[in-house]
Amino acid sequence: MVARERRGEVVDRGAVKNACQMLMVLGIDSRAVYEEDFELPFLEQSAEFYRLESQKFLAENSASVYIKKVEARINEEAERATHYLDKSTEEPIVRVLEAELICKHMKTIVEMENSGVVHMLKNNKTDDLGCMYKLFIRVQEGLKTMCECVSGYLREQGKALVTEEEGGNKNAIQYIQDLLDLKDRFDHFLHESFNDDRLFKQTISGDFEYFLNLNNKSPEYLSLFIDDKLKKGVKGMSEQEVEVVLDKAMVLFRFLQEKDVFERYYKQHLAKRLLLNKSVSDDSEKNMISKLKTECGCQFTSKLEGMFKDMTVSNTTMEEFKNHIQTSGTSLHGVDLNVRVLTTGFWPTQSATPKCNVPTQPRNAFEAFRRFYLGKHSGRQLTLQPSLGSADLNASFYAPKKQDSGSSGPQVRKHILQVSSYQMVILMLFNTRENCSYEEIAQETDIPTRDLIRALQSLACGKPTQRVLSKEPKSKEIEPNDAFTVNDHFTSKLHRVKIQTVAAKGESEPERKETRSRVDEDRKHEIEAAIVRIMKSRKRRSHNLLVAEVTEQLKSRFLPSPVVIKKRIENLIEREYLARTPDDRKVYTYVA
Amino acid sequence: MPPRRKRKTTLVEEQTTIPKRSRKESSSRKKNAAYDPLREPFSNKRCQIWFQEYSSDEDGLGPEGMEKFCEDIGVEPENIVMLVIAWKLEAKQMGFFTLDEWLKGMTQLQVDSVIKIRAKLEFLRSLLNDPVLFKQIYRFAYDFARDKDQRSMDIETAKIMLSLLLGRQWVLFSSFHQFLEQSKYKVINKDQWCNILEFSRTINSDLSNYDEDGAWPVMLDEFVEWQRARALS
């Protein structure tokens, strides 16, 4: 009769109920009679019934429909048990259903083409996923099966986002934004469909960590992204929105394995923002730094904070300098000087201060400052960094505007040009002569080649409103035989013209390699310091335990490979900081 | 103890080869048939005088003297027994013995003449068979043979010394030698040196029991990798 009801017919429930009760009573104190005579065959028959039904359903329906049907059947059986079978039958029958309808077909459901998990994720079928989740949570391994499928899809998507060809320079900001969007999507699924389930949460995090670190430029890109959000002119975002984005960026930061690489780039980008006055506000900068501090501790951020302090102190110093100039009547040779003094340890260092032949006027002005500063702080050393500075130049252009007709004579157009220090040095050459060849410029300015080319490109090859110099021949590239003159036909609507330096958003390959090698050097030192620290306190440690401890200590900054650690250990043995114990060569001791 | 026959011959040899300098001693000694220079008690003075046959100046015996010494005792300079002798003498620098080293070492050996040391050569060679002593000699060889200006031993010297010490009993030696030739290593440090011995003693020739987590120096990890790659091709 139950079978009939399942098929949709109406049966006499009361009769069945009485029959069951009678069987129960027959068993007096136990369910044995009930069980034997009714329940067992009932369960067997049910299993058979549902086995057939599930196969039929799967063949005919999509995953989401199947799931809903299963849900319906389960409710039906539970209700049946409550109503007229013995209540104790509810649990076993539900389990039978679960086994037949769900367990046996888990993978099939999940992987169903065009309707399985992947399809649901692609098409944002949040509700369907939710139903599947609620269903699968009933069975062991149910969630695991689902989760594996979700993870596979996520990894595939993530990998697609992070992969770039050799030497390709992806737009960093787009790269990170895409990843943030992906994270948002999956956070949505996690919350709406998966009920913030811990297994899913951990899996998603693990997947992000996996593919984010597949691309070793991720730390640089993340820093560039944050840099973009902290610069002036962040388009169309309120302060609050920026805050939210930065918090999301921090989530990605946590997944980075090479946090020390990020630190290096962040320092570089922050330095540029501070020195070129591009920060949107000090507060938002400090906010970001405190976020990093919470994640990584003071060691990470102390230098960044030092950079801020330098800026403040420099402002004070300049005030004092200005007073000094007035009271002592020192001449600055017509230069309105602004100096920022940077403490070497805090700021990103160049390998060596690049040379540059600074023209007389600015040089003398700087000397005046140097005398003043060293008078106050004897024992310090000041080195001018021409690669970081900027200058405002008064420029006069002596040719009439091309559009001008009927002008009375040669007009002098004056503009203020905002340029980098290197560009200033180049332009001032033209005060003494009309033409300069590339070779001459290179020789007289002594500017490093790569920077020289960049500077000349921005002065001579950019947009017409930026072309302060004319170049023969008029190509985009700078060749050694090029000749430069002042572009007297230069025009601009603005009185104050800022010359953009042709700067790649990311680093060029050689620069990246250099950064990488510096990171590796630093890591060697950090690993050695960790080894010595651990051995000093432990006195004796076996190789494997030492390697494990070192990895543990450093993992918040980067993941050292066991081979590199081993090399450092060997190096320390050679330098007699460590020794192998004579009885067991796998155990090291600290040599005081 | 050498058989009677031999003794007579050596006696004869001795009489003709005893250097003039020891005339003083031999004249005071009774020239009798039972005279056995090997049985003579050790004399510090004789030892010192013997040293002077080879030493060029007050303090030391240099490469020329060493050559003569080797000739006298009938051993080639590259022979491993020379290393054992140096070890006994606790000599600091290959090719040189100081008077102090000589006296201390020879006294320990109770040797004060060529004939006595020749008699001990077998014994000295046999020390290499004792694993504990061999290890000591092997380790001694590192500081002995390296250039004292450097902390580490240059690779060429290392190859020679390793060949001398391990060439015969370590099956993998020729492979290791090849590995070093094609590698970029210019020096071998003491840690690597000592571990090579351990490796040769504990690791099977098919490398089957090599454990990557065994805290072996990276050089040996690389050797194993290289050797395994060769075995496959």
User: Comparing A88-102, A218-232, A286-300, B121-135, which segment has the lowest mean pLDDT?
Assistant: A88-102
How far is Cα A505 from Cα A511, in angstroms, rounded to an integer?
12
Q: Do A563 and B221 touch (CB under 8 A)?
A: yes
List the single best residue of A585, A588, A589 to mutate versus B (max B Cβ within 10 A): A585
Compute how many other C-beta atoms are within 10 angstroms of the C-beta atom of residue A270. Answer: 24
* Percent of chain B whose pLDDT exceeds 90: 38
* H/E run at residue A485: strand A483-486
Residue A248 or residue A5, greater confidence: A248
- Crossing angle between the packed helical segments A282-296 and A259-275, to the nearest 10 degrees: 160
The torsion angles phi and psi of A486, rounded to 5 degrees, stand at: -70, 135
Q: How far is A576 from chain B (nearest CA, A)?
A: 10
Chain A residue at shortest CA distance from B221: A563
The torsion angles phi and psi of B154, rounded to 5 degrees, stand at: -70, 155
pLDDT of residue A238: 80
Q: Which of B191, B195, B198 sits opposite A574 (nearest CB)?
A: B191
SS3 state at A27: coil
What are the angstrom distances between the C-alpha of A568 and each of A230, A531, A574, A588? 39, 8, 10, 13
* Chain B residues with CB-CB distance to A567 below 8 A: 218
Q: How far is A563 from chain B (nearest CA, A)?
A: 7
- Partner A, chain B 208-227, Cβ-Cβ below 8 Å: 213-215, 217-218, 221
CA B219 to mean position of chain CA atoms: 26
Please answer whether residues B162 and B194 qualify as being in contact, where contact means their C-beta atoms are separated by less than 8 angstroms. no
Residue B31 or residue A566, greater confidence: A566
* Chain A residues with CB-CB distance to B200 below 8 A: none
Q: Which of A567, A580, A585 sits opposite B218 (nearest CB)?
A: A567
pLDDT tens for each residue of A337-359: 888 888 888 888 766 677 788 88
pLDDT of residue A37: 67
pLDDT of residue B59: 67
Residue B219 or residue A129, greater confidence: B219
Q: Which residues contact B45 (CB under 8 A, 6 or more apart)?
A: none
How far is Cα A555 from Cα A549, in angstroms, rounded to an integer?
10
Please answer whether residues A106 and A55 qualify as being in contact, where contact means their C-beta atoms are separated by less than 8 angstroms. no
pLDDT tens for each residue of B192-230: 999 999 999 999 988 999 988 888 999 999 999 999 999
Q: Do A543 and B213 touch (CB under 8 A)?
A: yes
Q: With 0-12 CB in 10 A as exposed, 13-18 as middle and 19+ as buried, what is A203?
A: buried
DSSP-based helix, strand, coil % in chain A, nearest 5: 60, 5, 30
- Of the candidates A2, A160, A146, A177, which has an alpha carbon nearest to the alpha carbon of residue A77? A2
Chain A residue at shortest CA distance from B213: A544
Q: Which residues contact B198 (CB under 8 A, 6 or more apart)?
A: A585
Mean pLDDT of A127-145: 82
CB < 8 Å & 24+ apart, contacts of A237-241: A239/A284
DSSP designation for A103: G
B189 touching A (Cβ < 8 Å):
yes
pLDDT band at B16 (very low <50, low <70, confident <90, very high): very low
A573 touching B (Cβ < 8 Å):
yes
SS3 state at A121: helix
Q: Do A585 and B198 touch (CB under 8 A)?
A: yes
Q: Which of B213, B214, B217 sits opposite A570 (nearest CB)?
A: B217
* Chain A residues with CB-CB distance to B198 below 8 A: 585
Q: What sign does the dihedral A271-A273-A276-A282 (CA atoms) show?
A: negative
Q: How far is B55 from chain A (nearest CA, A)?
A: 35
The torsion angles phi and psi of A369, rounded to 5 degrees, stand at: -65, -45
pLDDT of residue A481: 83
What are the angstrom distances between the C-alpha of A301 and each of A243, A264, A289, A372? 19, 11, 7, 31
Q: How far is A207 from chain B (nearest CA, A)?
A: 29
Q: Which of B152, B214, B218 sits opposite A586 (nearest CB)?
A: B214
What predicted TM-score, i.e. pTM, was given to this entire model? 0.72
Q: What sign does the dihedral A272-A275-A276-A280 (CA atoms) show?
A: positive
Please answer whether residues B90 and B141 qualify as being in contact, where contact means their C-beta atoms are separated by less than 8 angstroms. no
Q: Which residues contact B31 (CB under 8 A, 6 or more apart)?
A: none
pLDDT band at B8 (very low <50, low <70, confident <90, very high): very low
User: Comparing A273-282, A362-371, B143-152, which segment has the lowest mean pLDDT?
Assistant: A273-282
What's the ipTM? Answer: 0.73
Q: Do B189 and A570 touch (CB under 8 A)?
A: yes
pLDDT tens for each residue of A382-400: 888 888 788 888 888 887 6
- Crossing angle between the packed helical segments B114-127 and B63-73, to the nearest 10 degrees: 90
Q: What sign does the dihedral A110-A112-A116-A122 (CA atoms) show?
A: positive
Q: How far is B81 from chain A (nearest CA, A)?
A: 26
pLDDT at residue A407 greater than cutoff 80: no
Q: Do B215 and A585 touch (CB under 8 A)?
A: yes
pLDDT of residue A50: 79
* Chain A residues with CB-CB distance to B224 below 8 A: none
B151 touching A (Cβ < 8 Å):
yes
Q: Do B215 and A567 touch (CB under 8 A)?
A: no
Q: Do B189 and A574 touch (CB under 8 A)?
A: yes
SS3 state at A295: helix
* Chain A residues with CB-CB distance to B215 below 8 A: 542-544, 566, 580, 585-586
pLDDT of residue A206: 93
| Cis omega (within 30 of 0) for bond into A473 | yes
Please answer whether residues A167 and A219 qualify as being in contact, where contact means their C-beta atoms are separated by less than 8 angstroms. no
* Chain B residues with CB-CB distance to A580 below 8 A: 191, 194, 215
pLDDT tens for each residue of B20-56: 544 444 444 455 556 777 777 888 888 888 888 888 7
Measured distance between the N- and C-terminal CA atoms of chain A, rounded to whole angstroms: 88
Mean pLDDT of A563-588: 91
Please answer whether residues A438 and A479 qualify as being in contact, where contact means their C-beta atoms are separated by less than 8 angstroms. yes
Mean pLDDT of A421-436: 87
How far is Cα B230 from Cα B175, in angstroms, rounded to an integer?
10
List the single best residue of A574, A578, A591 to mutate versus B (max B Cβ within 10 A): A574
- Of the candidates A569, A564, A533, A562, which has an alpha carbon nearest to the alpha carbon of residue A548? A562
Mean pLDDT of A31-36: 64
* Chain A residues with CB-CB distance to B201 below 8 A: none
Residue A184 or residue A89, greater confidence: A184
Residue A436 or residue A18, greater confidence: A436
pLDDT at residue A294 greater than cutoff 50: yes
Measured distance between the N- and C-terminal CA atoms of chain B, rounded to whole angstroms: 56
A545 touching B (Cβ < 8 Å):
no
pLDDT at residue A373 greater than cutoff 80: yes
- Partner B, chain A 331-350, Cβ-Cβ below 8 Å: none
pLDDT of residue A464: 78
pLDDT at residue A152 greater than cutoff 70: yes
Chain B residue at shortest CA distance from A565: B218
For chain B, the DSSP string reads ---HHHHHHHHHHHHHHS-GGGHHHHHHS---TT--TTTSPP-HHHHHHHHHTT-SSSSEE-HHHHHHHHHHHT--TTSHHHHHHHHHTT-SSTT-EEHHHHHHHHHHHT--SHHHHHHHHHHHHHHTTSHHHHHHHHHHHHHHHS-TTSSSEEHHHHHHHHHHHHTTT-TTHHHHHHHHHHS---EE-HHHHHHHHHHHHHS-TT-TT--TTS---HHHHHHHHHHHHHHH-
Chain B residue at shortest CA distance from A562: B213
- Strand A413-420 vs strand A496-498: parallel, antiparallel, or unpaired? parallel
